[in-house]
Structure 1
Amino acid sequence: MKKIIFKLSTLLSILFIITSLFIRCSNDDTTTEEEGDVTDDDDTEAVIDDTDFVATDWTEATHSKDADPDFDEVFDDTAVKRIDLVISEDNWAVMLANMTELYGTFGSRGNGGFSDEDPVFVPSSVFYNGIEWYKVGVRFKGNSSLSSAWRAGILKLSFKLDFDEFEDDYPQIDNQRFYGFKKLSLKNNYDDKSMLREKVAADIFKNAGLAMSHTSFYTVYVDHGDGPIYFGLYTLVEEVDDTVIDTQFSSDDGNLYKPDGDAASFASGTFDEDEYVKKTNEDEADFSDVESLLSIINDGTRTTDPATWRANLETVFDTDVFLKYLAINTVIQNWDTYGRMTHNYFLYNNPDTSKLTWIPWDNNESLQTGKQGGSLSLDFSDLSKTQWPIIGNMYEDDVYKAKYDAYVQEVVDGVFNVSTIQSTYATYSALIESYATSEISGYTFLNSSSDFQAAINTLNSHVSSRATAVSNYLD
């Protein structure tokens, strides 16, 4: 058990004054007392206390590992639900000090950057419908979205919840679950003034029959010592390495990877076990499945004997799933994804087929033309095929190109049909508008309430433009 003793009453007051003055001088986005005291304390381990509590709200259906995941309760598409995070003042100080170490001074746009290290977990209480979940592991999550929001002085940060993270310190919460879920993400809808992109993109992939996280809308309140503060509208996202592989495949025993780094491109010569981050079977040093995929996708038989190349590829990779994903992802547009960025997908070795299966992830930058070079063209004319060989080499194969083209037509006829998606935008925007625009403060990415409707209008125009783009491409 780790214990850290903080003497904060005087120290935090002094640090708050110094930090506030610094931020006011260096940035127009001033923080408020509600936004918390950002400290430079080097000690960023969670405070472990109150170990003799009694979990009085615990029931099998709500807290037990024995309960099946209750998707209807947790992921309700027809409601905006509320979740409260109660974090002690000391542990809130730990979280902010840790963020300062990782990303620089809060609100200082010119400092900091990305970090390879995850923010620190602290124990907190989670309340939902008047029920408490105890000593839940809570940390900030994200990479560019986390860094950018932090340095802009916006405390609407994404959270990761792990309901039994601290079970070794608190035996009362052994195998604690939230209606059958061990881990969940609360995504802050960074840089999305509609607050719909993460949700709608997930719906599109899921409705097309791909393995995909469930999502839903939640308002998040955080009490870090002075009562609950409204942090805004979030999108709750099911974790792939928790219930997605457990419920959408026949078994969760296969290798699950979350590639990140050069090796995630699968370009020739990039193989690196450290960059094929394992989320299951972590103690097994078997990376032969991803190594085989990298070798085959770049093999010279692709041009000398295409039939053999396809046969070999299909022994290790679910090509149909990938081509369907690729068609959807390219039609809806998504720039922060494979083909532009070396992250934001999972590969799962499906025990039923012994093939690596593509699972999309992190779609808040979809449904738009995009940044940093923009989303890929439908014909991939702007793709470096040697850098991104899973797309480039498959698209250059006549058989796979024909399948991709068929899926592109299927997407605009079905899951991304103009009238269907515009109706979805209307339904969801009506559902969330009052929550999205109720407070324009340090916990939102909106500059004014009118930003929200303008963003919805942009989404409606976008889906129409994509139908035209597909028609032009296929013609």
Structure 2
Amino acid sequence: MSTSQLPLFAIYIHPDDLRELRRDIWNDELVPATLTFHKKKFHIDISYRGSHIRKFKKKSYFITFYKPYFFHGAHELHLNAEYKDPSLMRNKLSFDFFSALGVLSPSSQHVLLSINGKHEGIYLQLESVDEFFLKKRQLPIGPIFYAVDDDANFSLISSFDKAPKTSLDAGYERKLGTQEDHRYLEEFIFQINTTPKYEYESVITKILDVNKYLRWLTGVVCTQNFDGFVHNYALYRNPDSGLFEIIPWDFDATWGRDINGKQMDYDYVRIEGFNTLTARLLDTERFRKMYYDIMKHTLDHEFTVEFMKPKVEQLYQQLRPHVLNDPYIKDRMEQFDDEPDWICEFIEKRNAYLKSQLSVLL
């Protein structure tokens, strides 16, 4: 297969159902459709996905499969338009970067989409974080909570009105598990905030995979996803270890651009990151040293132009022929062509900045 080939998702939605879908972009009700992929037909349900991105002319979609029930081992998938990212690759680059750091991350690949014969352009197919995500990785089935708004800030105080939260699981939506599992999440948030400093190390290591969290923190800080500290993640509790792990989600506002695709200065996010859990972990000498070691290693190896540039170039070469045919972004060709250098320049400047800040962790 040549590097320019992308798989095609051909979706057919009955005109009545398509009208119903378009009637209210904020409606999460799924409508029936069929998806043809490599000459095989799948019966699916489809809806729009995302929050502010629903307003864009190039929509993003959520798909569930019901006949057959699985698509390459998945029951659900997300098709992201990546409309505000002029490179179309930041989300994928981020998830692959997190995987390289040893963080649980969704898999992703670029595809082409057509709806009722109309070419909709390039999309990023994203794996859903659910029980099948766990099964693929041979992980025990345990509760998964999505951080759906800024109240998922690991604090007892609401991000919205700065008042005490009315519930400890505010800001989260359970994706997998039972109502009973909320007690694990509530206990987790409670202990993060109320455990005294002298007990913090022993208590937190019994409820959080600290090493994985610090690897995730390194990834968020390097890629500079400002929203990533208080949402854009999922929590998974491994029932064998009893520890929570954190999984990144929605990382297109990264590698030097914000959620609107505007330039973000390379020194916008400090090396210590944000949120209550991060602050308390870095207030513990052992964890601060762990974070220093992980960050230093990452700045020497994975978060470098040498490591990332081949990945950026490969995605650029794969996507470029199809950008010319994407009805929503084909007029942005010049900017698309400039993005690989932009991303590499950001990595170079961000790396130098973070290296200059390493000493604050000592």
Relative distance call for 1:257 and 1:95 in structure 2 (3 A) is same
CA distance in 2, matches of 1:393, 1:193: 36
Q: Distance in 2 between matches of 1:421 and 1:401?
A: 26
Q: Tell me, yes or no, if the aligned pair for 1:261 and 1:275 is still in contact at 8 Å.
A: yes
**TM-score when normalising by structure 2:** 0.89
Partner-residue secondary structure (3-state), 1:408 = helix
Structure 1 CA distance for aligned equivalents of residues 244 and 181 of structure 2: 14
Match of 1:295 in 2: 190
Superposition pairs for residues 383-394 of structure 1, below 5 Å? 383=274, 388-394=275-281
Q: Deviation per CA, 1:410-436: give whole Å up to 9, x if none.
A: 212232221110111111101111112
- Give, in whole Å, the separation in 1 of the partners of 2:299 and 2:155: 30
Aligned identity (percent) is: 18
Q: 2:172 aligns with which of 262, 276, 294?
A: 276
List gaps (5 residues or longer) in structure 1: 1-72, 103-117, 165-172
Shift of 1:357: 0.8
Q: Which residue of 264, 268, 285 corresponds with 2:180?
A: 285
Question: Is 1:258 paired with 2:153?
Answer: no
**Pairing 1:131–2:20 present:** no
Which structure is higher in strand share? 2
Paired position in structure 2 for 1:406: 293
Map of 2:235 onto structure 1: 347
Match among 188, 206, 209 for residue 315 of structure 1: 206
Does the 8 Å CA contact 1:265/1:389 hold for their aligned counterparts? yes
Residue identity matched to 1:123: P
Per the TM alignment, residue 91 of structure 1 is displaced from its structure 2 partner at its CA by: 0.7
After TM superposition, the structure 1 = structure 2 runs for residues 1-400 of structure 1, keeping only pairs within 5 Å, are 79-99=5-25, 102=26, 119-134=28-43, 136-147=44-55, 149=56, 154=57, 156-164=58-66, 173=67, 176-223=69-116, 228-252=117-141, 254-268=142-156, 269-270=164-165, 271-273=167-169, 275-282=171-178, 284-299=179-194, 301-302=196-197, 305=198, 308-338=199-229, 342-368=230-256, 370=258, 375-380=268-273, 383=274, 388-400=275-287
Cα distance between partner residues in 2 of 1:298 and 1:437: 51
| One-letter code aligned to 2:33 | S
Contact residue 163 and residue 183 of structure 1 kept, 8 A: yes
Name 1:48's counterpart in structure 2: none
Asked whether the 8 Å contact 2:152–2:172 carries over to 1, the reply is yes
Deviation for aligned residue 1:97: 0.4
Alpha carbons of 1:358 and 1:315: their partners in 2 closer, same or farther (altered >3 Å)?
same
Shift of the alpha carbon at 1:371?
Answer: 6.0
Give the deviation of 1:146 after TM superposition: 1.8
Q: Equivalent residue of 2:126, what SS?
A: strand
CA distance in 2, matches of 1:77, 1:260: 36
Greater mean deviation of Cα atoms: 390-399 or 254-263: 254-263
Pairwise CA RMSD:
2.3
Cα separation, partners in 2 of 1:300 and 1:202, compared to 1, 3 Å: closer
Q: Which has the larger radius of gyration?
A: 1
| 1:457 equivalenced with 2:346 (yes/no) | no
Aligned equivalents of 1:447, 1:467: Cα separation in 2: 32
Counterpart amino acid of residue 337 in structure 2? Q
Deviation at 1:336, TM superposition (A): 2.5
Write out per-residue CA displacement over residues 287-341 of structure 1, whole angstroms, 9 at most, x where no aligned residue: 2211122122112511xx1xx2111111111111101110121012112312xxx
* Secondary structure of 1:265's aligned partner: coil
Q: Secondary structure at the match of 1:336?
A: helix
Q: CA deviation at 1:248?
A: 2.1
Residue 399 of structure 1: how far off its partner (Å): 1.6
Cα–Cα, structure 1 residues 418 and 217, in superposed 2: closer, same or farther, change >3 Å? Answer: same
Letter in 2 for 1:379: E
Supply the AA of the counterpart residue of 2:78: S
Once superposed, which parts of structure 1, at least 4 consecutive aligned residues long, lie more than 4 Å away? 76-79, 371-375
Q: TM-score, normalised by structure 1?
A: 0.69
- Aligned partners of 1:181 and 1:242 also within 8 Å: no
Whether contact under 8 Å (2:152, 2:170) holds in the other structure is: no
For 1:296 and 1:249, how far apart are their aligned partners in 2?
A: 29
Relative contact order, CA 8 A, sep 6+: which one is greater?
Answer: 2
Per-residue deviation at 1:78? 8.4
What SS does the aligned partner of 2:152 have? helix
The number of equivalent residue pairs is 346
Deviation at 1:247, TM superposition (A): 2.0
Contiguous gaps of at least 5 residues in structure 2: 157-163
Instruction: Say whether the 8 Å CA contact 1:379–1:473 is kept in structure 2.
Output: no
